[in-house]
Homo-oligomer: A and B are copies of this chain.
Amino acid sequence: MREEFQADLTEVSRLLVTMAEAVRAALRKATSALLTADLKAAESVIERDLEVDELYRQVESKVADTIARQAPVASDLRMVITALHISADLERMGDLAEHVAKTAARRHPSPAVPAELRPVFKKMGEAADQMADKITNVLARPDAALAAELENDDDTMDELERDLFQILLADDWPYGAETAIDGALLGRFYERYADHAVNAGHHMYFFVTGQALAKPA
């Protein structure tokens, strides 16, 4: 029974890694679509979000199946349920990548972000990408230091969001309200993506080790 249970967890973990890789690729492509006004890339992100949603259903179904067959209790049960939280975070990250892509597509052929904002969105995209890479690794190698790094990465993202708002709210902002609003919403999509990555990382650490990640000092 114990061996079967471990095999089930491994299967759930495999689905979660696939999901994490998919939402990482989605935001990479969405950021590129945003920075280069690439409609095809944006449309591909929007279409492929269905695959993430399908993986989400597979995780849920596998978790229900595992609980029903193995009847885990105590910490085993908590670990299995944690997989649902992880997949909910990853599913939401996929949605947020899709929102970025939709913003890029809506303004096409104009770029959704003016030249002044491109450097900060490039950095936000890179920070998010690093975080998505790390959570994939936490599943394969449950390293507390790696999971804790996500907190610092998230601080970086928050700083980038503040930089963004400083540009948007400068007295000499020349692009009007629509571009300011798009910029602010886009900033929020990246910031939320990073937040969900932090949550997913914590849950993943628990999922693999059965122990909560200590809060960083």
Contact = CB atoms under 8 A, between A and B. Distances in A.
User: Interface SS of chain A: helix, strand, loop or mixed?
Assistant: helix
Interface residues of A, number: 25
Nearest to A183: B181
Contact of A74 (B63, B68, B77, B168): B68
A57 interface: no
Given A68-B73, A168-B181, A177-B177, A81 B78 contact: no
Contact of A188 (B169, B173, B177, B185): B185
Interface of A: 60, 63-64, 67-68, 71, 73-74, 77-78, 81, 84, 88, 165, 168-169, 173, 176-178, 180-181, 184-185, 188
A81 B77 CA distance: 12
* Assembly stoichiometry (copies): 2
Contact of A178 (B60, B67, B84, B169): B169
B185 A177 contact: no
B64 A68 contact: no
26 contacts: A60-B81, A63-B81, A64-B81, A67-B77, A67-B81, A68-B73, A68-B74, A68-B77, A71-B71, A81-B84, A84-B84, A168-B177, A168-B181, A169-B177, A169-B181, A173-B177, A177-B180, A180-B180, A180-B181, A181-B181, A181-B184, A184-B184, A184-B185, A185-B185, A185-B188, A188-B188
Contacts of A71: 71
Contacts of A60: 81
Contacts of A188: 185, 188
A176 to B, nearest CB: 8
Contacts of A165: 181
The 8 closest A-B pairs by CB, nearest first: A177-B180, A181-B184, A68-B73, A71-B71, A169-B178, A173-B177, A68-B77, A64-B77
